[in-house]
């Protein structure tokens, strides 16, 4: 260690100066050590505290499993029978091949491009239930898009419906009807739309004899586009899923109530 002496001071004065400097250094060192000790103690206390995790706010989209018939147009008659109608030619064939049972009744509007419609256990359905299903079948036919006000629908049991004509397979979505038909004449094209649980939109024929609920919208064929009608339905009924509404609205429409 190199020691520098001040020649202007005596040995005792130089010694005293170094002593004071050493004393000051020891005091600073002590304060530094105390600070380090306090910081270490504080750190140890923080480590000892239980960790509290803040729960993250996560929106979980619940996946609700749908019934098999919900991919089609459908409703339940006032007599309790399920009615299903195809949305296109592919669904028409699917209804026939997979869901058409011996005790069911087949309905079809008397226009080209109509939905194949089935009443489950329809052979036991009342005339009122059959009329409701017939009006439903007519509403989801090309008659709505054509702007017609009324039309005819026939009904037959499964034994009279075939996918073959003269030994050949008929076109996609088409059927061969044999024998006598039960006719429902001059039915009105009119649907009643209501809101269900979870903001789901349901459609019923206007001749439905059951209860509709407090809020409802009545549609007939008209000139208002499906998107405009869907927005008005959303405004009145509070339905959220516009895409789902578009699949329920048969075509350009007019809200009459």
CA dihedral 165, 171, 173, 178 (to 10 degrees): -10
| Predicted local distance difference test score (pLDDT) of residue 117 | 97
From 141, 165, 188, give the residue that closes a domain.
Answer: 188
Query: Is 105 in the same domain as 215?
Result: no
**Over 60: is that where the pLDDT of 96 sits?**
yes
Specify if 166 maps to a domain. yes
| Predicted local distance difference test score (pLDDT) of residue 59 | 46
pLDDT in tens, 238-249: 877 778 889 999
Specify if 42 maps to a domain. no
Over the chain, what is the mean pLDDT? 83
Confidence of residue 220 (pLDDT cuts 50, 70, 90): very high
Query: Is 124 in the same domain as 205?
Result: no
pLDDT in tens, 99-133: 999 999 999 999 988 999 999 999 999 999 999 99
pTM: 0.73
H runs (alpha helix) in 74-188: 89-94, 127-139, 142-145
Query: Is 249 in the same domain as 229?
Result: yes
**Over 70: is that where the pLDDT of 206 sits?**
yes
Specify if 182 maps to a domain. yes
Q: Which of 6, 59, 213 is nearest to 202 (CA)?
A: 213
> Contact, 78 vs 208, CB < 8 A?
yes
pLDDT in tens, 73-94: 999 999 999 999 999 999 999 9
Beta bridge partners of 220: 254
Query: Is 181 in the same domain as 116?
Result: yes
Query: Is 72 in the same domain as 160?
Result: yes
Residue 256 belongs to domain spanning? 190-257
Higher-confidence position of 26 and 132:
132
CA dihedral sign of residues 196, 199, 202, 206: positive
Q: Which of 97, 151, 98, 91 is nearest to 115 (CA)?
A: 91
Give the mean model confidence (pLDDT) for residues 201-216.
89
For the chain, the domain total comes to 2
Confidence of residue 182 (pLDDT cuts 50, 70, 90): very high
H runs (alpha helix) in the chain: 11-48, 89-94, 127-139, 142-145, 226-237, 242-248
Specify if 24 maps to a domain. no
């Amino acid at each position: 260690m190199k020691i520098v002496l001040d020649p202007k001071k005596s040995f005792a004065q130089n010694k005293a100066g170094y002593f004071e400097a050493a004393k000051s250094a020891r005091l600073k060192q002590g304060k530094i050590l105390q600070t380090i000790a306090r910081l270490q103690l504080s750190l140890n206390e923080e480590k000892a505290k239980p960790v509290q995790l803040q729960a993250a706010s996560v929106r979980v989209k619940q996946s609700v499993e749908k019934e098999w018939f919900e991919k089609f147009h459908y409703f339940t008659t006032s007599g309790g029978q399920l009615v299903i109608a195809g949305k296109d030619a592919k669904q028409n064939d699917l209804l026939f091949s997979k869901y058409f049972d011996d005790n069911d009744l087949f309905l079809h509007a008397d226009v080209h491009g109509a939905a194949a419609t089935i009443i489950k256990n329809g052979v036991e359905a009342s005339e009122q239930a059959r009329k409701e299903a017939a009006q439903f079948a007519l509403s989801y036919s090309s008659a709505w898009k054509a702007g017609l006000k009324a039309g005819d629908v026939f009904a037959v049991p499964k034994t009279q419906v075939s996918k073959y004509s003269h030994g050949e397979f008929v076109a996609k979505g088409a059927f061969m009807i044999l024998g006598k038909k039960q006719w429902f004449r001059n039915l009105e094209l009119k649907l009643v739309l209501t809101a269900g649980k979870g903001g789901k939109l349901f459609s019923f024929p206007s001749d439905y004899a059951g209860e509709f609920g407090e809020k409802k919208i009545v549609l007939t064929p008209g000139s208002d586009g499906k998107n405009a009608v869907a927005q008005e339905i959303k405004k009145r009924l509070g339905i959220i899923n516009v895409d789902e509404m578009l699949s329920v609205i048969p075509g350009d429409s007019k809200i009459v109530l």
